[in-house]
Structure 1
Amino acid sequence: MAAVPGLRRRMACWLYEGMLLFGVVFIAGYLFSTLSQTRNALDNRHVLQAFMFVVLGIYFVWFWSKGQTLAMKTWHIRVVDRQGRPLTQPRALLRYLLSWMWFLPPLVVLAPLGLPVLEAMVLLAGWILVWALLSRFHPRRQFWHDAWAGTQLIHQPPAPKRVR
């Protein structure tokens, strides 16, 4: 059975992924606003959110079905199914939908409350911490959305360097 990367390494990869996604979101947002001729950020807000959901879905499903995103490659982490095989696109899509557990519960709670931004960010950060720590209760220390999707994160050692 392949080694499971530690929580610290998985969270470092998660943060690095967020930084890399800044570029994806920026380009997709620019493309959307250009094609839709949106002049004000609040115009077409819900359509933009749906567009970003789809763009991020395509990004993650494509990379996960190949085994790794760039951040995962950097941190030597690979996503596979329970048998250690590469993910199919339907399984990667299921993982993408279930991975919204990182954000969906606090967003559902925040929507009717109308909290100030700082308090909302504290609630969101608190939930992310709780969700990450819940992996300690999984028998193989996997995140619960991975368990539900039938996937797992494993350590992917770097390829040996060729000596010339």
Structure 2
Amino acid sequence: MTDAPTPRRPTLVFWRLLALVYDVFPVVALWMLASLAFTLGYTIAGHDPHQNIAAFSPLQWVLWAVCWLIGGLYAVLSWHRGGQTLGMRPWRLRVVDASGALASWRALWIRYAVGAVSLALAGLGFWWAWIDRDRLTWHDRASGTRMERMPPRTKA
């Protein structure tokens, strides 16, 4: 007699938000390092460090892009390595493709890009999961990935 695999329940928006809150901390720390590097570079180039705060210069647009890329590298590398970011581990969440395997680089970058747009729109793509029949977000649908909640570990 073979045991059929237990179907995974859809991940609730609540669990996704908890993981996102946890993931804010390492990402903001990386952003602070990037900002420090930009500020030091700006100062070394002979500019007053207060000017980079007072005027919204083209260099600050570069910093925004670098911070977006840093967030993407954090998420995509984590998802590709084991399906989880640091914030997803305590809640036993994992990103997989439709077959249940780890997703491709392309799918993960699409997931990150659509998720970033979703967050920029006040999280509308996340809230969409409340009305979606499969409880999927915009970035789940766009990338062909799913977030699943793994069962708790059993003690051996």
TM-score, length of structure 1 as denominator length: 0.75
Residue 61 to residue 26, structure 1, CA distance change in 2 (3 Å): same
Q: What residue identity is the alignment partner of 2:29? A: G
1:24 corresponds to which residue? 30
In structure 1, the residue corresponding to 2:129 is in which secondary structure? helix
Deviations 1:56-106 (A, max 9, x none): 12111111112100000121100011111101212111111111222344x
1:118 corresponds to which residue? none
2:137 corresponds to which residue? 143
Of structures 1 and 2, the larger Rg is shown by 2
2:3 corresponds to which residue? none
Superposed structure 1 runs of 4+ greater than 4 Å apart: none
Which one of the candidate residues 142, 150, 154 is aligned to 2:148? 154
In structure 1, the residue corresponding to 2:89 is in which secondary structure? helix
Question: Identical aligned pairs, as a percentage?
Answer: 24
Which one of the candidate residues 21, 26, 31 is aligned to 1:15? 21
Q: What residue identity is the alignment partner of 1:51? A: V
Once residues 131 and 97 of structure 1 are traced to their aligned partners in structure 2, the CA distance between those partners, rounded to angstroms, is 12
Q: What residue identity is the alignment partner of 2:139? A: H
Q: What residue identity is the alignment partner of 1:95? A: R
The answer for unaligned runs of 5 or more in structure 1 is: 106-126
Q: Which moved more, 1:74-83 or 1:40-49?
A: 40-49
Which one of the candidate residues 68, 88, 96 is aligned to 1:72? 88
Would you say 1:89 and 2:84 are equivalent positions? no
Cα distance, 1:154 vs structure 2:
0.1
Task: Please report the RMSD computed on the Cα atoms of aligned residues, expressed in angstroms.
Answer: 2.0
TM-score, length of structure 2 as denominator length: 0.78
Once residues 157 and 26 of structure 1 are traced to their aligned partners in structure 2, the CA distance between those partners, rounded to angstroms, is 35
Cα distance, 1:158 vs structure 2:
4.2
Asked whether the equivalents of residues 138 and 144 of structure 1 are also in contact (C-alpha less than 8 Å), the reply is no
